């Protein structure tokens, strides 16, 4: 296989100093190939979101390396020009569809603004591209003219996806992007994402605590716990035959017909000596 | 935000009326009406009356109301009604300039502090606290002592001392706004910080700015009137409500309180309306946040 699109080595982030220092991400490494879909699973506080924020340049790593398409992305971009160049490489969809849109900006204007940042387009071209993006994610003309408050959570998340795709990035990070949605809407959005991946060849970095979602949308998965990668491999293998006790616990914590919470709380694995 | 709050809103009294009236409570609209009347009289009135507010006629000092002088005449025989109308213009322009200047400077300062953060934010906060420590009136008195009595020095001094009131409120609201994911989303697209601040953060905190500017208008009117009252603001013979209250003091001792009372009543009505409107606007912006 060719060189990976995204390569992360020894990524580390600690917050605070001295006795208050806490290691949130600890030596995380993974690769994402062009057109691939990588899942990051783990419980709350396992460092998934911090990892995403470092990849997108919202957080500065304490140590480690991020290489995207041969370019070093370890440190956040400083100039507007560099920010825009990176914006065309990697984008993010946030978890909360309610706060990830400016409540005073119409949906079409939101998409148009992003398009104008990245491309020199005339009025008509912007309008055409906005409608095209709307079609891609399933938003009609009326919804493009609406304010966010007129849209449902699922529709807003479609807007966020359209905005992330506006600059034609190679990678889209989906940070718990369907967690705030109803299960039926989740399925719609996941289908939409699978569809877009097929049509656009975009790669996903899919962060979730929901194993069913991870299974549906990713080819490879890494499992994070306390900032470390505890298990990595093809999604089916990781979820069906987990070798690490934590992955097993995660999998067994998914409620089923004969599931009792107590049994799993008791089998909480102790911190692995590594 | 979602359907739940929309249905909850239906059960709140006055919701229908509020929706029909831009979200402002009836008392807020009453305040708007009062302010509109005061502004109209002060700015259109001078063109409608033909009495010279500065025409002195010592032979008719303290004359009671008559057909020619409906509100009577002051110590120098000047027409009180004309002076109230012309005085309104000076009394309103002063605080308006104070509020305009302090709002623009305070907002820009706060937005910049929020966007750049770090040491810049820390410096801005310290400077704001330092200005806060000086009472506005004292600063204005100091300014008139340095640059001579009169409206310009007082307005500049008060503008500076009103900056913190606006800057504080805008900073805390903008700080909340900046932490929302949509700002992060715009940042990772490469949208300029100035654009995000002016086109996204500012419109979202604008209602709060307007509300606080309205409140500040009332306070600035009182401060400027107080300065004119003690003779450091508007200089005679220019008509001004605050100055009229001060000049009318002599008349009170001679059982002729009309000038002071009329001017005081206008100050109270205007400031009261501005405060009421400011409070209603604050409520509205909080309800919408």
For residue range B207-256, what is the model confidence (pLDDT) as tens digits? 999 999 999 999 999 999 999 998 888 888 888 999 999 888 888 888 88
User: What are the domain boundaries of chain A?
Assistant: 6-266
The answer for residues whose C-beta is within 8 angstroms of residue A180's C-beta and 6 or more apart is: A95, A96, A97, A98, A153, A157
User: What's the pLDDT band for B8 if we cut at 50, 70, 90?
Assistant: very low
pLDDT digits (tens, 9 = 90+) for B46-69: 888 888 888 888 888 888 888 888
* Residue-level pLDDT at A112: 94
E-only strand ranges, chain A: 6-15, 22-32, 37-41, 63-68, 71-72, 90-93, 171-175, 203-208, 220-225, 228-234
Query: Which pLDDT band, with edges at 50, 70 and 90, does B25 fall under?
Result: confident
State whether B190 and A118 contact (CB < 8 Å).
yes
Average pLDDT over residues A102-107: 92
Of A56, A99, A117, the CB nearest to B182: A99
Which pair of tokens denotes residue A22?
């806490």
First to last CA, chain A: 31
Is the Cβ pair A117, B191 closer than 8 Å? yes
The pLDDT of residue B6 is 45
Overall fold of domain A6-266: Rossmann fold (3.40.50)
pLDDT at B250: 85
Q: How far is B148 from B141, CA to CA, in rounded Å?
A: 10
State residue B3's pLDDT score: 43
Average pLDDT, chain A: 88
Q: Residue ranges of the domains in chain B?
A: 81-288
pLDDT of residue A1: 54
User: Which of A87, A92, A98 lies closest to B190 in CB terms?
Assistant: A87
Task: Mark B37-69 as b/e (b = at least 16 C-beta within 10 Å).
Answer: ebeebbeebeeeeebebeeeeeebbbbeeeeeb
Nearest to B1 among A85, A92, A98 (CB): A98
Does B260 have pLDDT greater than 80?
Answer: yes
* Tokens (6 digits) for A127: 């309008």
A103 Cβ under 8 Å from any chain B Cβ:
yes
The pLDDT, as a whole number, for residue A268 is 53
B14 pLDDT tier (thresholds 50, 70, 90): low
Q: For residue A102, which residues of chain B lie inside 8 Å, CB to CB?
A: 182, 200, 204
| Highest mean pLDDT out of A16-20, B148-152, B170-174 | B170-174
pLDDT tens-place string over residues B109-155? 999 999 998 999 999 999 999 998 888 888 889 888 888 888 888 99
* CB contacts, 8 Å: A96 with chain B: 181
Q: Which of A90, A102, A119, A180 best tests the B interface by mutation, with the highest count of B CBs <10 A?
A: A102
Q: How far apart are CA B253 and CA B234, in angstroms?
A: 23
A104 part of contact set with chain B, CB < 8 Å = yes
The whole-angstrom distance between A132's CA and the closest CA on chain B is: 19
Residue B5, pLDDT > 70, answer no
Per-residue pLDDT at A158 exceeds 60: yes
CB contact under 8 A, B181 and A100: yes
User: B81-288 has which CATH code?
Assistant: 1.10.3720.10
Output the pLDDT for position A50: 93
Statement: residue B70 has pLDDT above 80: yes
**ipTM of the complex, rounded to two decimals:** 0.86
- Give the closest-approach CA distance of A238 to chain B in angstroms: 31
Q: What is the pLDDT of residues A218-253, one digit of tens each?
A: 999 999 999 999 999 999 888 888 888 888 888 888
Q: What is the pLDDT of residue B7?
A: 44
Strand, helix or coil at A25?
strand
Please give the mean pLDDT across all residues of chain B. 87
Closest chain A residue to the Cα of B180, Cα to Cα? A99
| Average of per-residue pLDDT across A132-138 | 89
* Residue B255: predicted pLDDT: 86
Q: Among partner residues A80, A100, A103, which is closest to B192 by beta-carbon distance? A: A80
Residue closest to A107 by CA, chosen among A129, A84, A138, A139: A139
B181-201 tens-digit pLDDT: 999 999 999 899 999 999 999
- Which residue of chain A has the CA closest to B5? A149
- Could you tell me which residues of chain B have a Cβ less than 8 Å from any Cβ in chain A? 1, 180-182, 184-192, 200, 203-204
Which residues of chain A are within 8 Å of residue B1 when distances are taken between CB atoms? 98, 149
* Banded pLDDT at A148 (limits 50, 70, 90): very high
What pLDDT was estimated at residue B10?
A: 46
Percent pLDDT > 90 in chain B is 55
Backbone torsion region of residue B143, taken as left when φ is above 0, otherwise alpha when ψ lies between -120 and 50, otherwise beta: alpha
Flag whether pLDDT at A93 surpasses 90. Answer: yes
Task: Specify burial of residue A226 (Cβ count, 10 A radius: 0-12, 13-18, 19+).
Answer: middle
- Between residues B16 and A114, the one the model is more confident about: A114
Distance (Å, rounded) from C-alpha B80 to C-alpha B161? 33
Residues 6+ apart with CB under 8 A from A260: none
Q: Is A84 in contact with B189 (Cβ distance < 8 A)?
A: yes
Question: What is residue A246's predicted lDDT score, i.e. its pLDDT?
Answer: 86
Q: Give the model's pLDDT for residue B95.
A: 95
pTM of the model: 0.84
Q: Are B112 and B122 in contact (CB under 8 A)?
A: no
Find chain B residues with C-beta within 8 A of A164's C-beta.
185
């Amino acid at each position: 296989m060719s060189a990976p699109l995204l390569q992360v080595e020894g990524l580390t982030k600690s917050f605070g100093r001295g006795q208050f220092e806490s290691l949130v991400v600890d030596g995380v490494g993974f690769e994402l190939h062009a057109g691939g879909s990588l899942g990051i699973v783990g419980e709350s506080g396992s460092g998934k979101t911090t990892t995403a924020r470092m990849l997108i340049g919202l957080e500065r790593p304490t140590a480690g390396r991020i290489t995207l398409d041969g370019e070093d992305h370890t440190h956040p971009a400083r100039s507007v020009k560099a920010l825009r160049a990176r914006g065309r490489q990697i984008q993010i969809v946030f978890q909360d569809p309610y706060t990830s849109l400016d409540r005073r900006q119409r949906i079409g204007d939101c998409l148009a603004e992003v398009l104008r940042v990245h491309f020199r387009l005339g009025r008509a071209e912007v309008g055409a591209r906005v409608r095209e993006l709307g079609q891609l994610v399933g938003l009609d003309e009326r919804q493009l003219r609406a304010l966010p408050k007129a849209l449902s959570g699922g529709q807003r998340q479609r807007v966020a996806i359209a905005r992330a795709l506006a600059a034609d990035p190679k990678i889209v990070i989906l940070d718990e992007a369907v967690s705030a949605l109803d299960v039926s809407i989740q399925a719609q959005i996941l289908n939409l994402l699978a569809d877009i991946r097929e049509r656009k060849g975009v790669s996903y970095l899919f962060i979730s605590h929901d194993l069913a979602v991870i299974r549906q949308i990713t080819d490879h998965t890494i499992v994070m716990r306390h900032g470390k990668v505890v298990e990595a491999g093809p999604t089916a293998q990781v979820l069906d035959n987990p070798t690490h006790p934590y992955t097993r616990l995660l999998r067994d914590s998914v409620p089923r017909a004969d599931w009792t919470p107590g049994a799993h709380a008791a089998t909480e694995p102790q911190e692995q000596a590594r | 935000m979602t359907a739940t709050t929309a249905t909850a809103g239906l059960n709140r009294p006055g919701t229908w009326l509020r929706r029909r009236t831009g979200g402002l409570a009836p008392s807020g609209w009453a305040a708007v009406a009062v302010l509109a009347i005061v502004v109209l009289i002060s700015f259109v009135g001078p063109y409608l009356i033909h009495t010279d507010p500065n025409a002195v006629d010592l032979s008719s000092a303290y004359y009671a109301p008559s057909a020619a002088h409906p509100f009577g005449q002051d110590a120098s025989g000047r027409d009180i009604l004309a002076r109230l109308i012309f005085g309104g213009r000076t009394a309103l322009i002063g605080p308006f300039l104070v509020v305009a200047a302090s709002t623009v400077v305070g907002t820009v300062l706060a937005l910049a502090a929020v966007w750049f953060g770090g040491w810049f934010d820390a410096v801005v906060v310290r400077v704001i606290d330092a200005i806060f420590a000086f009472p506005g009136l004292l600063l204005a008195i100091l300014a008139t002592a340095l640059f001579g009595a009169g409206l310009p020095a007082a307005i500049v001094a008060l503008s500076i001392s009103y900056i913190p009131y606006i800057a504080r409120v805008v900073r805390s609201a903008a700080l909340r706004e900046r932490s929302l994911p949509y700002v992060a989303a715009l940042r990772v697209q490469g949208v300029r910080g100035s654009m995000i601040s002016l086109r996204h953060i500012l419109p979202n905190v604008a209602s709060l700015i307007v509300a606080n500017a309205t409140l500040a208008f009332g306070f600035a009117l009182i401060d400027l009137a107080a300065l004119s009252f003690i003779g450091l603001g508007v200089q005679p013979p220019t008509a001004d409500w605050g100055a009229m209250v001060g000049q009318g003091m002599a008349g009170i001792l001679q059982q002729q309180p009309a000038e002071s009372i009329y001017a005081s009543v206008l100050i109270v009505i205007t400031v009261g309306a501005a405060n009421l409107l400011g409070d209603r606007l604050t409520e509205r912006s909080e309800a919408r946040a």
